[in-house]
Amino acid sequence: MKIALFTNEFPPNIYGGAGVHIDFLSKELAKLGDVEVRCFGNQNEHTSTMNVLGIQSSLTKMEDATNPHIKMFQNLSKNVEMSQHTIQADVIHCHTWYTHLAGIFSRELLQVPLILTTHSLETHRPWKVEQLGNGYFLSRWIEHKAYNTADGVIAVSEQMKTDVVEAYGIKPEKVTVIHNGIDPEFYKPTFDNQLLEEYGINPNIPFVLFVGRITRQKGISQLISAAKYFSKNCQIVLCAGAPDTPEIAKETEELIADLKSQRDGVILISEMLPREKVKVLYSHARVFACPSLYEPFGIINLEALSCETPVVGSAVGGIPEIIQEGKTGYLIPLESISRTDFNPKNPEAFQKNFAEKINQLIADENLAKTMGKAGRERVLEIFSWESIAKKTFNYYQEVITRFEKEKA
């Protein structure tokens, strides 16, 4: 089987969970079939079972401060060239709206089925208008058309299946659930005090860890506000980079500065660290914090659990399918999100509840260790990439068979 994977992110250009997903999935799929990766960037790699071609369109270097839509035009141009460079495939598998147009083009040109993975839904992320301007409305339109064209849909959680069916009127039988995965041989307890000291973290004081992009959906502003209620006997390590906009970057900087004025032990690592370093941070952390306001799955929680670190997370999206309440961490109820400021409608209650569970784990090292070990056991049992790739490959075969019957 020749599998065409279309993605914005691919190594070395990874900044979110979708990129991590496609990195590991592509390697495992390459053991089952021939994989053709088309991505945004200048990659150009070839092996016996996987070819990776990065796309840099003729508009890539074009900058025009007077044209607020230039980034959208760049994306659209890359979609045309992505499809142009895909001359043969048995199935097309797209990841995120950035490549959906290329998927539609190639589906029609090659007359093969199109499958989409729901890493997120644009219609549920209205704050992206800050990042894309009116381009957001075009990205939402593209996504809508793609889901109503696709021959199969992979949801990364049961909640995402419900969301995509409700948002775009997809028939439930057209959607299958295949969770994100983890490489437990890579993400395992790994310790290095020297790395902690390099970033100003005291190895002798427990710390709360956040890892994520500076974006509305990750809830970093809620975590910083909740940190005002954290025990003074802990450090707060914010591994946060790749802000969506200069405005949210400035807003976050001000919140962190205010927090630092109120307490010691606040450490900001304002870059997206390589996963070799991140797994050390996961392993040393007493607890991992995931205060997301929107999270279709939450692969970072798997990474933390695989390193035997318990997680306190928002009870949204796919997170409740990862964290077992009271066994591998805690789930914090999150009331509906305000569409005007993208915050919980009762932010103070959320922040205090979040801090209460964080403080329990800061105060009880044995409890944290017990939960951490239970978390890794759960990851090993359910979330390996090998099994996920096999489920994905089997789904390809199912969709191809159905597509051929319908075409006949």
Q: Please tell me the predicted confidence (pLDDT) of residue 118.
A: 92
pLDDT at 339 exceeding the cut of 60: no
pLDDT for residue 340 is more than 60: no
Lowest mean pLDDT among 47-56, 152-161, 334-343: 334-343
Q: Would you state the torsion angle of the CA atoms of residues 265, 266, 267, 268, taken in this order, to the nearest 10 degrees?
A: 180
Per-residue confidence band for 337, with pLDDT thresholds at 50, 70 and 90: low
State mean pLDDT over 16-32.
Answer: 92
Helix (H) or strand (E) holding 65: none
pLDDT tens by residue, 236-249? 999 998 788 888 89
The whole-number pLDDT of residue 28 equals 94
Higher pLDDT, 222 or 246: 222
Which is nearest to 288 in space by CA: 322, 250, 339?
A: 322
Q: Residue for token digits 């409700």? A: 166
Q: Is the pLDDT of residue 102 over 70?
A: yes
User: What is the residue extent of each domain of the chain?
Assistant: 2-181+384-407, 193-382
Strand extents, DSSP E, 183-307? 207-213, 235-241, 266-269, 287-290
Burial string for 90-119 (b: 16+ CB within 10 Å, else e) reads bbbbbbbbbbbbbbbbbbeebebbbbbbbb
Same topology between domain 2-181+384-407 and domain 193-382: yes
- Residue 188 to residue 308: CA distance in whole angstroms: 7
| Separation between Cα atoms, residue 380 and residue 308, nearest integer Å | 11
User: Alpha-carbon Rg of the chain, whole angstroms?
Assistant: 21
- Mean per-residue pLDDT over the chain, rounded: 92
325 residue type, one letter? E
Stretch 381-400: mean pLDDT: 93
pLDDT of residue 20: 87
Between these two residues, 209 and 293, which has the higher pLDDT value? 209
Contact 209, 288 (CB under 8 A): yes
| CATH number 3.30.470.10 is the correct assignment for the domain at 2-181+384-407 | no
165 Cβ contact partners less than 8 Å away, ≥ 6 residues apart: 171, 172, 175
Identify the DSSP state of 215.
S
Residue 8 scores a pLDDT above 70: yes
- Given a cut of 70, is residue 141 above it in pLDDT? yes
Any idea which of 67-76, 202-211, 309-318, 396-405 has the lowest mean pLDDT?
A: 67-76
- pLDDT category at 60 given cuts 50, 70, 90 is low
pLDDT above 80 (res 122): yes
Q: What pLDDT score was predicted for residue 128?
A: 78
Average pLDDT of the segment spanning 193-216: 95
CA torsion angle 329 117 241 380 (round to 10): 40
Rounded to the nearest 10 degrees, the angle between the axes of helix 365-382 and helix 347-363 is 100
**pLDDT at position 127, please?**
74
What's the CA dihedral at 216, 220, 221, 227 to 10 degrees? Answer: 160
- pLDDT for 125 equals 81
Predicted confidence at residue 217, as pLDDT, reads: 85
The pTM of the full predicted model, rounded to 2 decimals, is 0.77
The correct answer on CATH 1.10.8.350 for the domain covering 193-382 is no
Q: Where does the pLDDT of residue 341 fall: very low under 50, low under 70, confident under 90, or very high at 90 and above?
A: low
Averaged pLDDT, 126-153 = 90
pLDDT > 70: what percent of the chain?
96
Q: Look up residue 159 and give its amino acid.
A: Q
> What token pair was written down for 23?
């990195």
* Res 165 pLDDT > 60: yes
Which is more confidently placed, 384 or 258?
A: 258
Q: How confident is the model at residue 404 (pLDDT cuts 50, 70, 90)?
A: very high
Looking at the chain, how many residues does it have? 408
pLDDT at 288: 98
The answer to whether 154 touches 395, Cβ cutoff 8 Å, is yes
Half-sphere exposure of 179 (CA within 13 A, CB side): 21
* CA dist., res. 338 & res. 349, Å (int): 15
Other Cβ atoms less than 10 A from the Cβ of 238: the count is 24
* 72 three-class SS: helix
Predicted local confidence at residue 375, as pLDDT: 97
Give the tens place of pLDDT for each residue, 110-121.
999 999 999 989
pLDDT of residue 68: 73
